[in-house]
Amino acid sequence: MKPLLRADGLVAGYGKVSVVRDVDLEVGEGEVVALLGPNGAGKTTTLLTMAGELPPLGGAVRYLDLEDRAPLHERSRAGLALVTDARAVFMRMTVAENLRTFRTTADAVVELFPELEPHLDRRVALLSGGQQQMLALGLALSRRPAVLLADELSLGLAPMVVDRLFSALRSAASAGVGVILVEQHVHKALKIADRVYVMDRGRIAISGTAVELRARVDEIQSSYLAGAP
């Protein structure tokens, strides 16, 4: 399977300070790749660099046929979507106004998250955190991306809401989307992932299929993810 998005020998960081080194990571069509690790391991930095939000300090990031250093807006036009824990929606607008701004439809988003239908005319700021994240993810998925990068979707949310978000990610992958999921919720991430990378101190410490790493979850948590749920 040809990768849709791939990092080779990636070195990434801020300014001239590298926090990620020699990372090889890829996602193909129709798979969920989980990127796990403790706080400060470099997961978000890796994801933002692969998205084009941060320029790589070394190595290469290849998304489809774009240049290695193509910025986020170019990758977005070519079908890459980025969703973070910041819930990139317009809080002062209603749900319906957000849909129009993002050039999608209520039907497309409500099909993914029926919970939002009664709230189309409400300002987003008045929604719960879970509803806001459903909206952010629904906006991204309704535009049928080739690749979706998701950073800590579960942060601060109830387990039932996390299950809904993760179910939508798994369904998107089943429809052909390549998903990279940065996540602290280890057990839930392993349930929907096909492959897994574990980062530690800016490098990939372990990688394998989700089936392989489910059998090692206690070892992984004690060695790399102490305190993670």
Residue 117 lies in a domain: no
Would you say 140 and 83 are in contact if contact means Cβ atoms under 8 Å apart?
Answer: yes
- Compute the average pLDDT of residues 134-163: 94
Confidence band, pLDDT 50/70/90 cuts, at residue 226 = low
Structural domain including 42 reads 1-78+180-229
The predicted structure's pLDDT at residue 12: 97
The predicted structure's pLDDT at residue 221: 81
pLDDT of 57 higher than 70: yes
The predicted structure's pLDDT at residue 228: 60
pLDDT above 70 coverage of the chain, percent: 98
CATH number at residue 224: 3.40.50.300
Instruction: Retrieve residue 118's tokens.
Output: 């009664």
pLDDT of 227 higher than 60: no
Residue 71 lies in a domain: yes
Residue-averaged pLDDT of the chain: 93
Query: 21-54 pLDDT, tens per residue?
Result: 999 999 999 999 999 999 899 999 999 999 999 9
Residue 139 lies in a domain: no
Residue 89 lies in a domain: no
Q: Which of 135, 131, 170 is closest to 34 using CA atoms?
A: 170
The predicted structure's pLDDT at residue 1: 72
The number of residues making up the chain comes to 229
The predicted structure's pLDDT at residue 82: 96
Q: Which residues of 189-202 are buried (b: 16+ CB within 10 A; e: fewer)?
A: bbbbbbbbbbbbeb
Query: 88-105 pLDDT, tens per residue?
Result: 789 999 999 999 999 999
Residue 136 lies in a domain: no
Domains: count for the chain: 1
Dihedral class, residue 202 (left if φ above 0, else alpha if ψ from -120 to 50, else beta): left
Residue 209 lies in a domain: yes
Handedness of CA 211, 216, 220, 221 (dihedral sign): positive
Residue 175 lies in a domain: no
Residue 41 lies in a domain: yes
Query: 164-215 pLDDT, tens per residue?
Result: 999 999 999 999 999 999 998 888 999 999 999 999 999 999 999 999 999 9
Helices (H) and strands (E) in the chain, counts: 9, 9
pTM of model > 0.85: yes
